[in-house]
Structure 1
Amino acid sequence: MTDREVPADLGRLWRLPVPSRLGRPAELDLDQVVRAAVGLADNDGLEGVTLQKVAQALGFTKMSLYRHVGSKDELFELMTDHASGPAPDLGDDGGWRDGVRRWADAIRVRYAEHPWLIDIPALGPPRGPNAISWMDALLRALRDTGLDLGTQAGVLNVVTGYVRHAIVLTRLLEQGREGTGMSQADAEQDYGRTLATLVDPGRFPYVAKLFSAEVFEPEPGADPANDDFAFGLGLILDGVAAAIEAAQE
């Protein structure tokens, strides 16, 4: 393969022009297919997306989609890049730490808009133009830190992984509360009070101290999911700050 050749699926992801075919123009294009698939996922979740259902939503046959999408996995990658959208302008105010925090918050918002994104299997590193724009935005925030590019890429991986983990954990907690009518704050309060009556200080002295300190008593109006997310991200940023300090010595 010469360095000018691009795999067909990657070419479609980047919307590279393809040689025109003789005959009637196609009545369907790739963007229509992707938008229809994203609409199905937004309404029915990722399990509601199949090539057959996408074709039906567009009024075409399943075979007609193969002119534009090579496989279901490719469709998922196209959907992910489309739904992720381009990275927002994070600005240059506030320094690298504020930039990374805004980046993480922005990705979290995008996943909240399209909850099925977290269900897309990770089949490889980001390849689409929108995914690359998110990478570029974080690297821009880190550009003046003195960290080498390999370390910057490591920060990107750690922060991305943390955001995904936090989203999955929040979803699992929500699923665990289904049917109870309890908010996360209520569930944490109930957990703390219940365990405080069960934990024997003689057997579990440090955990007993934790429960007696009312750590699981959220402030009125608090949002534990957001507070926990901010706390965990702050710890990661403290680690990045330490790496920056070490790099500048």
Structure 2
Amino acid sequence: MSAEQEEAPAELARLWRLPVPASGLGRPAALDTERVVRTGVELADRDGLTGATLPKIAKELGVSPMSLYRHVGSKDELLVLMRDLALGSPPEVETAPDRWREGLRQWTVAQRLVHHDRPWLPRLPIAGPPMGPHEIAWMEAGLSALSGTELDWAAKVGSLTLLSGYVRHASLLSQEHAQGRSETGLSQEETERAYGRTLARLITPDRFPQVALLFSSGLFESAPEGAYDDPATDHDFVFGLERVLDGIAVAVDRARAGTG
């Protein structure tokens, strides 16, 4: 073990699964951090965040809640550990200088799919900058996509933060829309059509001229069935992502020209 590992705080050591010196004689512990955290992720996948409390994890493992504190220091630490494990490994991304946009697109869509598969993930509080091995691996992949650009480090990190924030917002908004649809039994496409038809009867050009033009344009009638079924190709998500990438492209061009 390196000197850096020996000096790592307990929370960081658990996050990186660094070896912990044995504490005296006796049988090896029946639990470890990996098993506790993996159980928490499995419960969250099944029951949401409310199903992944320390008492419920202990019950699932057949141990006392107090025994978990040898492996997870607190509820807040549990959430940090669960987030890193749940993210998993990042995708392989394009790294060629002229392919940075495709690389970031791959990176962002992969995050969106992880959040779709684990809807509890974007609901976790942001406790600080990336610290865990999976989070750092995602950072490495994102920076690799931008490695052929002339952006400085602050601009690269800012670009990744912007894209991650967009994914988080889009994921939460999608969940809220899905919850609302579950109460009506309508699909997203049916919801949009019903919305357009209802408002078109109420809005008059003399009071809301631009909105009236919008509702008479046929936009809310145009989405085909299934247009929102795939979170990676969802029209609203893709539109927003491309606009964010447009903004990053301006910064990339300015950095290349030396005017950024």
> Cα offset for 1:69?
0.6
Partner residue, 1:64: 67
Partner residue, 2:152: 148
Partner residue, 2:58: 55
Letter in 2 for 1:107: Q
Q: Are 2:189 and 2:224, in contact at CA under 8 Å, matched by a contact in 1?
A: no
Letter in 1 for 2:246: D
Equivalent-residue separation in structure 2 for 1:184 and 1:219 (angstroms): 9
Q: Are 2:119 and 2:175, in contact at CA under 8 Å, matched by a contact in 1?
A: no
Partner residue, 2:205: 201
Structure 1 residues without counterparts, runs of 5 or longer: none
TM-score of the superposed pair, with normalisation by structure 1: 0.95
> Cα offset for 1:220?
2.3
**Aligned residue runs from structure 1 range 154-165, under 5 A:** 154-165=158-169
Pick the aligned partner of 1:45 from 36, 44, 48.
48
SS at match of 1:240: helix
Letter in 2 for 1:162: Y
Aligned Cα root-mean-square deviation (Å): 1.6
**Aligned residue runs from structure 1 range 151-230, under 5 A:** 151-224=155-228, 226-230=234-238
Equivalent-residue separation in structure 2 for 1:218 and 1:160 (angstroms): 30
User: How many residues of Structure 1 are paired with residues of Structure 2 in the alignment?
Assistant: 248
Partner residue, 2:125: 121
Partner residue, 2:16: 14
Are 1:112 and 2:120 an aligned pair?
no
Letter in 2 for 1:78: L
Q: Are 2:87 and 2:134, in contact at CA under 8 Å, matched by a contact in 1?
A: yes
Letter in 2 for 1:52: P
Equivalent-residue separation in structure 2 for 1:153 and 1:200 (angstroms): 46
Equivalent-residue separation in structure 2 for 1:246 and 1:118 (angstroms): 33
Q: Are 2:122 and 2:172, in contact at CA under 8 Å, matched by a contact in 1?
A: yes
Pick the aligned partner of 2:244 from 236, 240, 249.
236
> Cα offset for 1:74?
0.6
Partner residue, 1:248: 256
SS at match of 1:179: helix
Partner residue, 2:80: 77
> Cα offset for 1:192?
1.1
Q: Are 2:36 and 2:68, in contact at CA under 8 Å, matched by a contact in 1?
A: yes
> Cα offset for 1:223?
1.7
SS at match of 1:198: coil
Residues 225-245 of structure 1: CA deviation (Å, up to 9, x unaligned): 611000000001111111111
Structure 2 residues without counterparts, runs of 5 or longer: none
Sequence identity, in percent? 50
Pick the aligned partner of 2:134 from 130, 134, 150.
130
Residues 204-228 of structure 1: CA deviation (Å, up to 9, x unaligned): 1111111111111233245246110
Letter in 1 for 2:14: R
Residues 102-158 of structure 1: CA deviation (Å, up to 9, x unaligned): 111101111122111122111111110001111111111011111111001110111
TM-score of the superposed pair, with normalisation by structure 2: 0.91
Equivalent-residue separation in structure 2 for 1:170 and 1:67 (angstroms): 38
SS at match of 1:115: coil
